[in-house]
Amino acid sequence: MARQPVVAGRAEQLLGSSVIATAPVAGGDICTAVKLRLSNGRTAFLKTLTGAPEGFFAAEATGLRWLAEVEDGVATPEVLGVADDCLILAWIESGKTGADAAASFGRALARTHRSGAPSFGLDTEGFIGRLPLRNRPMDTWAEFYAERRIAPYLKVARDHGMVEAADAATIEQAVAKIGEIVPDEPPARLHGDLWNGNVLFTNDDRVVAIDPAAYGGHREVDLAMLALFGLPQLQHVMAAYDEEHPLADGWEDRLAIHQLFPLLVHACLFGGQYGARAARLAARYL
């Protein structure tokens, strides 16, 4: 590892510890990431984004700390420092996927969800990727999901030609029925962006969740996102989750309704066929 003076200096301002070495980290879709070796013997992870929206890194830090409040809940990286232009976290060393770690993660996720949230939403706004995430609370999950999680991204995708008009209509019709489809449950404490890229199996047989878009919502949202892009060892995660915090009958048939949200976010960010895929899933409920 070499030492980038500008990056190291910024980290030192926030951490109060000297940075011995830095190294770029590949793999992020949005932020630039750097590994830091500190003089106190710790290793840290710094992420930056040029022109980051106001509150971008603060929202992530808030979400990580909120999730970490749950005793024996989902493990998250320790927040070491946060500012408008960057976020510094404890380094997580990745390892091999394993069934035991997956099962432990399933139980921990269930405990995090069961710890609850004050409302459907959050008292601060957030981000999902680079996009604003509207969190202003609403009384019911059906209202919140339709107005805060579907409508904003469907409009952007439709306005930019990422979703055809007929597909948008199909999605709207399905979401209008969510109160009939999804059973009533109290708000769960959600990670909010729990796709497989944000679930790290570590070298000490744990699982750590990163990059949250946290808020209070229906717990099946996190589960739907885990299933959407194929988490390794998912069957062990789900079996352990269901033992710890049993799911309502038919949950597997409801995953697709909650996958509409991340698919529309992907349509807004990346284009492609995500909008059409969302419409095919929505059509199952018509």
Q: Which residue in the list 159, 184, 193, 222 is annotated as catalytic?
A: 193
Q: Tokens 């995953």 label which residue? A: 255
* Of 74, 170, 165, the residue nearest 115 (C-alpha): 74
Q: Take residue 275 and report the two structure tokens written for it.
A: 């909008």
Q: Where are the beta strands (DSSP E) in 32-85?
A: 32-38, 43-48, 79-83
* Of 122, 114, 119, the residue nearest 141 (C-alpha): 119
CB 61 within 8 A of CB 73: no
Q: Is 193 a catalytic residue?
A: yes
Rounded to whole angstroms, the Cα distance separating 142 from 149 reads 10
Rounded to whole angstroms, the Cα distance separating 20 from 48 reads 19
* Of 247, 262, 252, 248, the residue nearest 284 (C-alpha): 252
Instruction: Find the Cα–Cα–Cα–Cα dihedral 22, 66, 123, 221, rounded to 10°.
Output: 100
Catalytic positions = 193
